[in-house]
Structure 1
Amino acid sequence: MKITKTILFGVLIIAVAGFQKDTMNQFDIDANLDYCAVQAEKTLAAMPDTLAIPRNIAPGSKQWRMVGYDDWTSGFWPGVLWYLYEYTGDVKWKKEADKYTRFLTPLSMRTATDHDLGFQMYCSFGNGYRLTHNKEYKDIFVRTSDTLARLYNPKVGTILSWPGMRTKMNWPHNTIIDNMINLEMLFEASKNGGRKILYNMAVKHAEVTMENQFRPDHSVYHVVVYDTLTGKKIKAVTHQGYADESMWARGQAWAIYGYTMVYRETKDPKFLDFAHKVTKVYLERLPKDLIPYWDFDVPNIKREPRDASAAALVASGLIELSTYTSDKKLAKTYLSKAEGMLKELSTSRYKSNNKNSAFLLHSTGHYPNKSEIDYSIIYADYYYIEALLRLKKLKSEKDLFVPLHNAEQTAMKR
């Protein structure tokens, strides 16, 4: 059969068009990490002379609301800076990360006021130690782990979340699902010179939470209240979700991320199995664009605000979970969903770009309290950049959890 020049030209056009389409559909991880660096530079340039931590930006504003070192979100900004240092190897990020990390040092020298010490001190000092092996950082998060452990109730088997709720809400001992993330600091402390009982506390907390904080479909209650004397469950309620029986998006995200992390630290298959179960109900109920509304059961849901922070958190957790999954089809699904979430978050619909200096728009903090609704929020940025780095490592066939020593010479970008 004679092939004419016209046919060849047509085939070439189709091939080029296909290549261009594939190229456009590819997710450029480095471009989005570079975007994070640009945005963080803007934030640094606008920081006040006195040390403070950026927490959120209201819709229509360009200014970060600043908080002190004792705010529950204070560890996320230094954590973002450590991730930028990990990506670039540029010592300027290391210098800034160190400055804002050390700003949190007083938290290691006071009594525990709530469970958030893990968020505050592990995102900052923990990431700092992972990347630099600076013994000062290690000593601080190990010491802080002992402080956090004072909130552990052996009768219940969990860490107390909000001590103030004992009088405000008459909750003798409450545990929120967010508290799962604080276990990572206890696990790491037990491996780095801390007491071995910290490991046991973390495992027990995960077990008791698994037993008491989930419905039959494996959706999560935000809060469980326990009797401090008997250790028995009194009730399960919400605080930041729509209703006691609704599935609050970020609560389910904490569960996915938390149980994946607990499996990493324990290698106990029951935690891996549970991570799959809490993930399944979340993925089954997601909208097509993979970004959840703030609660899955709120009426007139399509009119409700989204929660980009939950999406970023789940994307990061799914990337890790995909590496533990022996079912190759399921692992591929997890990775595909995570990449889809990051792709959507990286569009103009969710990127802050020139609107403000955060990474992302459209997070929801505490809707029932009318707080941080449709805001840019620092922890959304933290989990977004973490997820990007995890995806980059996975595609580069690097171990997600091996620190990059001498980061100046081994920057991921190179």
Structure 2
Amino acid sequence: MPSPHRAFRRAWLVTALATGLVAAVAAGCSSPPAPAGETEPAAQTGRTAQARDARAAAPSDPSGPVLAFADARLAETADALAPPAYPVRTNPDGTWLTKEPEDWTSGFFPAALWRVFERTQDPVWRERAERWQAPLAPEASHDDTDLGFKMFMTFAVDHELTGDESAKQTALAAADTLAARFNPTVGMLRVWDDRDDEEKYQVNIDAVMNLELLYWAGQNGRPQYTDIANRHANRTMTDLVRPDGSTFMFAGYDQRTGDLVRNYTEQGARDDSTWARGQAWAAYGFAMAYRYTRDPRYLDTAHRTADWFLGHLPPDRVPYWDFSVPQAPPEPRDTSAAAVTASALLDMNTLDTDPGRKDADVDGARGMLASLSSPAYLSRDTPFRSVLLHGTQNLPTGQADSGIMFGDYYFVEALSRWERQVGPSAQLTAG
């Protein structure tokens, strides 16, 4: 039975959500104050603290009404814009900034449309997904881009959902292009080309997300690509995941010897900081790698990185853009990192066999999804065309505090997973 102290906290937070205090959080990018006589610990660690705060703050099940809202937003975008102008992030007035198919983010919008089709089986959504996907086909041969993001979640998913053979062949061609970037001396896939330094070999934590294209190809006629994906994942565990479960963004190698030269960042606060979305990519990517391989090291790494992420969240469960900056305004949040990690935890929930661990996975996702579904972060009743507000794509280049299409994709994916695994009528508050 909850203590009077916890009951008071739960009642206060639920009342705050109901009376609009969370909207003030969105406006100021800060967390609600603690009730009189109660102070938040400086750093909460582990899923026990996470589950306590999530259950206290969660107002209701987010899946049904919020999914309907997200679907409506995606439909508006699909019908208001036209390919090949792909929505990336929102402008200050709430409209979409668009990019060409060559941009690394171009696959996320058609990918989101495929996820809605998967859930609804409505042919209108299939038509939208196919229309927006079509201009991406030439990207199968585009070197020096994130082909996993761009081509797995579109053409490979298309094949999985519809059986379309041409989509399968396009995805396999993209896997061929990605696999050609593997350097056996380094044992990793090169991420960025550096034309000024032939010996510089750059790999980021994001690259673990590209491995699904190779794992899928390994099951669809390219068995040799599974070994490439495993070798990349193995060295990522060694060189980009720290012993405490936090992550570096980048590793640089000497491709002649395979030696690690340095760890550094491009989008985080410092070379030794923990960039929020990078931490999310790690949790998601290693859960996915375990799903394909059943290598227990990958699931352990997924849990360690997710635990670290959850243990360093602010009280409302949505991270600031980097865990090493002051966790308060004016530092911007990154809702996309919360959406990615929530989806990763629900993937882990299908993979874990221990009931306690499965409960922790759901608890972790619950806290973030409830907060993302609140007025603090959902774009309902705003001029923004995105589903989520307050995403940070790349703060060092000024891309902060906007809607982001990949944040919307992972939010829709996470809510769809929640609906399948927990149910649309499940309560998010503690029983």
Q: TM-score range by the shorter chain?
A: 0.7 to 0.9
Higher relative contact order (CA 8 A, sep 6+): 2
> Does residue 358 of structure 1 match 2:386?
yes
| 1:6-405 equivalences in 2 (<5 Å) | 25-48=59-82, 51-59=84-92, 61-108=93-140, 110-114=141-145, 116-163=146-193, 165-167=194-196, 172-193=200-221, 195-299=222-326, 301-353=328-380, 354-370=382-398, 372-395=399-422
> How far off is 1:43 after superposition?
1.2
Q: Which residue of 2 aligns with 1:403?
A: none
Query: In the aligned structure 1, how far is the partner of 2:227 from the partner of 2:304?
Result: 23
> How far off is 1:327 after superposition?
3.2
Maintained 8 Å contact 1:171/1:225: no
TM-score, with structure 1 as normaliser: 0.85
> How far off is 1:343 after superposition?
1.1
Larger Rg, first or second structure (1 or 2): 1
Query: In the aligned structure 1, how far is the partner of 2:253 from the partner of 2:84?
Result: 39
The code of the aligned residue for 2:179 comes to A
Query: In the aligned structure 1, how far is the partner of 2:71 from the partner of 2:353?
Result: 35
The code of the aligned residue for 2:351 comes to Y
Question: 1:236 is paired with a residue of what secondary structure?
Answer: strand
Of stretches 271-280 and 375-384 in structure 1, the one that deviates more from structure 2 is 271-280
RMSD of aligned residue pairs (Cα, Å): 1.9
Q: Which runs of 4+ in 1 moved over 6 A?
A: none
TM-score, with structure 2 as normaliser: 0.82
Q: How many residues align?
A: 368
- Cα gap change, 1:175/1:30 in structure 2, threshold over 3 Å: closer, same or farther? same
Question: 1:233 is paired with a residue of what secondary structure?
Answer: strand
The code of the aligned residue for 2:96 comes to W
Maintained 8 Å contact 1:166/1:173: no
Structure 1 gap segments, 5+ residues each: 1-20, 398-414
Identity over aligned pairs, percent: 37
> How far off is 1:171 after superposition?
6.5
Query: In the aligned structure 1, how far is the partner of 2:123 from the partner of 2:144?
Result: 34
Structure 2 gap segments, 5+ residues each: 1-17, 19-54, 425-431
Question: 1:101 is paired with a residue of what secondary structure?
Answer: helix
> How far off is 1:73 after superposition?
0.4
Question: 2:413 is paired with a residue of what secondary structure?
Answer: helix
Superposed CA offset, 1:191-217 (max 9, x none): 112x21111000000001111112221
Query: In the aligned structure 2, how far is the partner of 1:339 from the partner of 1:220?
Result: 24
- Cα gap change, 1:368/1:51 in structure 2, threshold over 3 Å: closer, same or farther? closer
The code of the aligned residue for 1:167 comes to D
